[in-house]
Each structure stands twice: as structure tokens, then as C-alpha cells.
Amino acid sequence: MRHRRMGFCLSCLLAMAAMPGIANGQAKNDEGRVEFSDANVEQAIQRGAEYLWSKQQGDGSWGPYKDKYPGGYTALATYALLESGVKPTDPRMAKALKWMLQLQKSEQQRLSGLPEKGGLPKNFQPPKTYTLGLRCQAWLSAVHKGGSEYLPALRTDVDLLVHSTKNGSYSYNSSGRPSGGDNSNSQYGVLGVWAGALAGLELPQEYWIKVMTHWLRSQNADGGWSYNRMQAESPSAMTTAGIASLFLCYDNLLAEAFVRCNTGERGRLIFAAAQRGLDWFDRNFSETIPGLGRRGKPQVPLGHSDMYYYLYGVERIGLASGYKYFGTEDWYKVGATWLLNDQQADGSWKGKWGQIPATTYAMVFLIRGRRPVLFNKLQFEGDWNNRPRDMASLARWMSRAFETDVYWQIINLKVPPREWHDAPIVYISGSQAPKFSDDDLDKLRRFVWQGGTIFSVTECNGGGFETGMRETYRKLFPDYDLAKCGPDHEMYTVRRISGQAGRIGFHLISNGVRPIAVHTTADLPLSWQLQRSTTDKWAFEAAANVFLYVTDRTFRARGTTLWPEEPGTVPKRTVKLARLAFEGNDNPEPLAYERFANLMHRDYGTEVNVLGPMPPAKLAESGAKIAAMTGTGKLALSDDDQQALARFVEDGGTLVIDAAGGDREFDRSAETLLRDLFGRPARLDGDARVFRLPGLEIEDFRYRRLTRERIGGNRPNLRGIQVGGRMAVYYSREDITAGLVGYPSYRCDGYDPGTAFALMRNLVLLASPSGGAASTTRPAEAPEEQPAKKAGP
């Protein structure tokens, strides 16, 4: 498939909102549209939540939708607000949940008075399937946020739904008497039961068989689904219903169908219906979003009458299938961009069924779609998908372990690697040798040097994959070896692994700063696919340790990226920066200054012309005014290079040296070299010029976890040496270089990415012809997207 710190006063904020190009505090592009960014998404969610709270009634509800749906609006609003982070103990939320409990009690009392047989009495109003399905989502969200007292309420609604279907489909009413109906109601019936499964409720396998049979039988020839069998066309909203429902069935029925790695045709047959549905979305998704399809022509969105209802379905199939792309479109960015531009001034959205459901559906799309993605599963030429639900099962376990919802997604090699960075890790698995072209290898390598990590797993004792991946790593990283982790390695201890940790056999490739690849021959995906989170808990904990060791417990919101696009603006000034080479590991992060240069151009109107790496002997002919040196291991320079370095500084150049990753051997040898050439470096106080550039003052020095544990506080630790009456040499025992790449790290000892960038920015601007004057086009702030949150226990 083709799937591929500055505070502002209130008056300042009001003034910004009145400026051209600013709407509701959100900057617009040249075309007058709000652009996708995590900050804009977060603000939209907050405004939507404020609108919903403003509409809550005195009894805790949000009022009825017509007379027959007394609880639908309240279920939707409660669900959306809980998902936005509101706790069940919040007084307003507790009031809403109490109202729903009272409604459920009255429903149960009425149902208990029904005769055992026969039709429903005249004027009897049974619970509605839509309401029950959505109410189950609210109960589940409350349970996950510590409200275990709502589990019985969830069980009650799930039991009612289980007993309200005859053939796997649902009608508008769910009274506990078996019946059938349409696909629109059916998707909400099974969605409610799925909430029970996620809460650990035992459900009869026969239920899932009935549901799967219904959706298989009702699929159209083109791969889509209709409202009912009387319709031949495949509306997009009903197709989302079919795909999402099938994946729920697969996860409950077919885990054991992929134990082996050679299921081949059988595996394709099992997933054929869902695949055909996904193919339908590949072909048609762009036509379902206003402004995407038939570029430049008027467009009526294909197959749905309400964008909000539809986007809720898109979010569900995107998360269920794992695919990041439908056709060539990133479904979350496309949907979120549309919603950002359709939000009303009061924070609501307006849809077919009113502002409350439209606002809740929009919020749920933005919230759930924004949740962190921990692993990107790579689609490549080879048996990349032997265990198609391995990541789905692992993500559910990790959501419980980290006490926050996390997800996974499938990426492909057809898109630039900067698009892969909403997850920190690319996961590659298989049993046969993978077939990577030179272009594929270039993308994998670039992803890693942009701050990513590869996690590869050999399935089914596949010697072909094992041999193939080792050869792949030799091509990707010829200067670094794949080395086995000893039993005391932190890969095993960053979080305790139960029992059989020795079976994992982690191997690492490190650039001296961080793990750039992790590999194991243990068939972890088998345990994930079979959902053996109790008997094979170690296999799940192993994946958690990979994530924690790579990222230092930091989550990143979907859609964010470490890597900025190349700027298209004309710079105001140019600075030449020379990167220095020496005999040893002198270039552990090859793209650090590429990212730094892009951010300096984009945010500060300064073109940093990065030269090298070059030996110090070539500095004189380079024309550079500032030189940077970093590395791990011993720093040793020849006499000629030492003399060239001394001449460069004496002639007015600025030298910046940092220990990459905070490497202690490099630190010791670099300090010795500097003492011999220039004298002992002395720690700079907070009034040093480099920290006090007008408009670019650095007030808060933030460090990575390892460094905070070692030095404590937030004081500057940068050292300097004066030469010829000026501060000419700067030395940092703490890492700056890895911080310029922007990634979180468990083992890196240094400044956090925002402070690392600010330090190097000021050092470069001081060395520029303007000497740091008039040097900024925007307030000083961390330039990269900030992680969403820290992981739990």
C-alpha cells in the first residue's frame, strides 16, 4: 500500500490578537490560514474545553439531543473533557458523571420492568446505542484516570450492548433484546463493547465472531461500506466504521493466527477485508477533506454529511491500523489543519447536529490523534509485517505501564525522514533479509543523524534477517560496531525486567553519546502479537526499556518533529563557522550544525555557513571567525595543529569546545590541551556578555537529567579563557553538540536542547561582524518543539 519564557501581559495578548495574521493568538500563514503546530492544536483543545464547560447545565448534564437522546450530549462532552486531561474528581466532572450514573440507574429500572418476551411497550424509550457506545468511552476514560468506582457502570453498559445484537449489528435502540440494524449504529455498539475489553472485562468470543461476520458480509465490492445493504455506494463515514470495527475484531480473535513468519497467503486472506477498506481510503481520502481533493476546483466532500462525525472515524482507523498516511496524506495533520481553521471565535465548532457534538468530536480527534507515538514500524521490501498487531498490543500495555495513552504507527520509505520524527524510534522486524536500496539506506542513516534510533528484532530465528540487518548496520555506520550488552548494562536496569531478561540479548551501536541502534534476536514480537503481557511480561518490559533508555522517559506529541525545514528567506547576516577535525571520534553527531544553521536562519535571520570538519591547520584559509570542536575519547592534536589553533585565536578567532555527551576522557584531555595553549579555563558568572546579549539574555540554564543529578541547580557552567584582553576561548564539560540535534537522552551529560541552542546562538552572534548587536528577529526561546510530557513509572 501507499500508506506511507517570556510572559506577556493581558494587554499584549489582546494587541497580538488584533494584529494582521493573528487569530485567537494563533499565527496565520501568508494565505491567511492557521498552520498546523502542536502549540496551535493544544490551544484549540483548551478553547474547545472552555466552550464545553460554559454550556454545562446546573444538573451536571449538557442537555438532551431531541427527546429520545437524553444522555448523548452529556456522554460526548464528558468523554471529550476527560480525554483533555480533566480528572474524574474535578467537581464539575464529578457532577457530570453523577448525572450519567443517575440516568443509567433509571434506564436499568425501566428495563427491569419489561416482560421477558414480546415487543417493547408503546411509548417505551430504551437506551440508545449511540449514547451507550459513547458513554462507555467516558466510563473507560474515567477508570483510566483513577475513577475505579465507575467500572461497574461500564460493565453494566457493556453487558447491555452485548445482549442487544442478534447478528453483530445494532439498531438505534439497545434494550438487551437481540436485534440487528445499520452500520452507523453498529460501529458505536461495538465501540462500547471494546471499551469493556480495554478495561479488562471478560467478553464472550462468540460476540466478536458475530460482529466480524456482520462487517465481512456487509462490505461492498469496492472495499467500502454502506449505511445498510440497500445502498450500493460506499460513503467515507461508513467505510471508517467498517475498517475500525474489523480491527477491533482482529485484536480479540486473531492474535494467534500470526505465530509463524510464513503465514503468507493465509495472513493476507485474514486481513483482506481490512486491506481492501484501507485501499479504498488510499484512493479516496483526499476527496473527503475540503481543500485537498481536485486541487483548485470547488469540492463537495465525498461520502459524509458532517466533517466532525467523520473525522472521529478517521482518527479511530488511523490509530487502529497504525498507518500514518492515507494515500499521500498524513491523516492527522490534514484533519487537524482543517479543524484549526474551522474553529469558531467562542472555541466551538459547528456541525450538523449542533455545536456540542461537533466540538466534542473535533476535540477527541485533536486529543487522541495528538497522543505520543513511541515506535514507528517501518514498511519495507521484505516480510516487515509478520506480526501485524504486535505494536498495537505493545502500545496498549505501555499505555497501562506509563499511565498515559501512547500509540504506534506505520511509516514508509517514500517520504523524507524528517517526517518520521514524531516517534523517536524506527522499529524494523522480519525473518528474511530486508532489501534496502541505497536511497533507503540514506534515509535511515539521515533519520538517525537527525536524532532518531533504530530498533531491530529478528523474528522466528530468521537467519536471513539477522545477517541482513548486521550488513545493513555495517553500511549505515561503518565507524561503529554492534556490541553485545553485558548483563549489568543499563538497557536491562533502566526499568526492572521480570524474570527472563537474559533471553533478550540486547546489542547496541553507540556513537559515543547515545544508542543509534538497538538489536535483539529474541522474538519479542511473538509475545506482543499473542498479547502475553502476563506470562511473557519480560518481552513487553524489554521494549519499554528500549524506549526509556533512548528517550529518558520523554514523550513527544504526534506531528512534532525535531527537524526544521530548510528556510526560504533571505538572511540579514552571514557567519562562517568551522568544525574542527582530529584523529578520533571527532564527528559523533554529523548533522548537529545543519539543524543549528537552519534554526538560526529561520528564527534569527543569520546564515551560519558551516565549514568542515577540517584540521586546525586549514583554519587560516577558511575565513571562519568561530571554530567548534567536539568529540568523545582522547583529544590529541599534532604540534602543527596546536600551533594553528593558537594562531587562529591570537588573530581574533573564537574557539568553542565541548565534550560530546559529556564524555569524561575527552573532557580531561581537552582541559589539558587548553591549559597548555591558553591557560586554565574559568567558570563564567551569570553576568558574562555571552549570557547577556540584548534581547537574547539567558536567564535559566537547563540541563539533562544526568547533569542535574551531578551538579544540581540551574547556574551556568560554561568556562572561558581570555586571550589578548578578550574572551576568546569557551569550553564546556557539559555537552552542547548533542543538544543542537534536539533529542532527549538518558545517558547524555549536558545542557538540554533549548539551552544548548541558546548558548551556541549567542556565541556565534558574538563572533559575527555585528558582535551580537541587533541580532534577533524573535524573542529568545527554545526553538524546537517541546516534548509532550514525561513518562510515568
pLDDT (tens digit per residue) in 769-783 = 766 554 444 433 344
Residue type, 47: R
Distance CA 145, CA 125 (A): 32
236-250, 547-561, 657-671: segment of lowest average pLDDT: 547-561
Distance CA 667, CA 681 (A): 12
Sign of the Cα torsion 55, 59, 62, 66 reads negative
Distance CA 489, CA 390 (A): 26
pLDDT at position 327 is 86
pLDDT at position 787 is 39
Is residue 744 within 8 Å of 424, Cβ to Cβ?
A: yes
Distance CA 186, CA 170 (A): 4
Could you check whether 36-110+126-370 and 573-790 share the same CATH topology? no
Its pTM surpasses 0.85: yes
**C-alpha dihedral (536, 791, 46, 146), degrees to nearest 10:** 60
Is residue 579 within 8 Å of 658, Cβ to Cβ?
A: no
**Residue reference for cell 505465530:** 259
Q: Is the confidence at residue 294, as pLDDT, over 50?
A: no
Q: What angle do CA 521, 526, 528 make, to 5 degrees?
A: 110
373-555, what's its fold? Rossmann fold (3.40.50)
Burial class for 108, CB neighbours closer than 10 Å (0-12, 13-18, 19+): middle
In the 3-class helix/strand/coil scheme, how is 178-225 assigned residue by residue? CECCEHHHHHHHHHHHHHHHHCCCCCCHHHHHHHHHHHHHCECCCCCE
Distance CA 525, CA 457 (A): 8
Among 393, 678, 665, 409, residue whose Cα is nearest residue 529: 393
Q: What is the pLDDT of residues 652-708, one digit of tens each?
A: 999 999 999 999 999 999 999 999 999 999 999 999 999 999 999 999 999 999 999
Distance CA 736, CA 749 (A): 9
Q: Domain boundaries in the chain? A: 5-30, 36-110+126-370, 373-555, 573-790
Per-residue pLDDT averaged across 581-594, rounded? 97
Mean pLDDT for the chain? Answer: 89
Q: Is the confidence at residue 28, as pLDDT, over 90?
A: no
Cβ neighbours of 280 (radius 10 Å): 23
Give percent of the chain with pLDDT exceeding 70.
91
Q: Is the confidence at residue 174, as pLDDT, over 90?
A: yes
Q: What is the pLDDT of residues 199-220, one digit of tens each?
A: 999 999 999 999 999 999 999 9
Q: Is the confidence at residue 578, as pLDDT, over 90?
A: yes
pLDDT at position 529 is 95
Q: Is the confidence at residue 268, as pLDDT, over 90?
A: no
Sign of the Cα torsion 245, 250, 251, 252 reads positive
* Assigned architecture for domain 573-790: 3-Layer(aba) Sandwich (3.40)
Distance CA 786, CA 754 (A): 9
Confidence class for position 31, pLDDT limits 50, 70, 90: low
pLDDT at position 106 is 94
- 3-class DSSP assignment, residue 779: coil
Burial class for 55, CB neighbours closer than 10 Å (0-12, 13-18, 19+): middle
Confidence class for position 573, pLDDT limits 50, 70, 90: confident
Is residue 213 within 8 Å of 269, Cβ to Cβ?
A: no
- 3-class DSSP assignment, residue 641: helix
Q: Domain 36-110+126-370 is in which class? A: mainly alpha
Distance CA 561, CA 368 (A): 18
pLDDT at position 474 is 98
Strand-pairing partners, residue 128, are 173
133's CB contacts (< 8 A; 6+ apart) are: 161, 187, 188, 189, 190, 191, 192
Distance CA 252, CA 308 (A): 28
Among 64-73, 496-505, 732-741, the range with the most confident prediction by mean pLDDT is 732-741
364-378, 482-496, 584-598: segment of lowest average pLDDT: 482-496
Per-residue pLDDT averaged across 732-756, rounded? 96
- The DSSP symbol for 173 reads B
Tally the residues of the chain: 793
pLDDT at position 779 is 39
Confidence class for position 792, pLDDT limits 50, 70, 90: very low
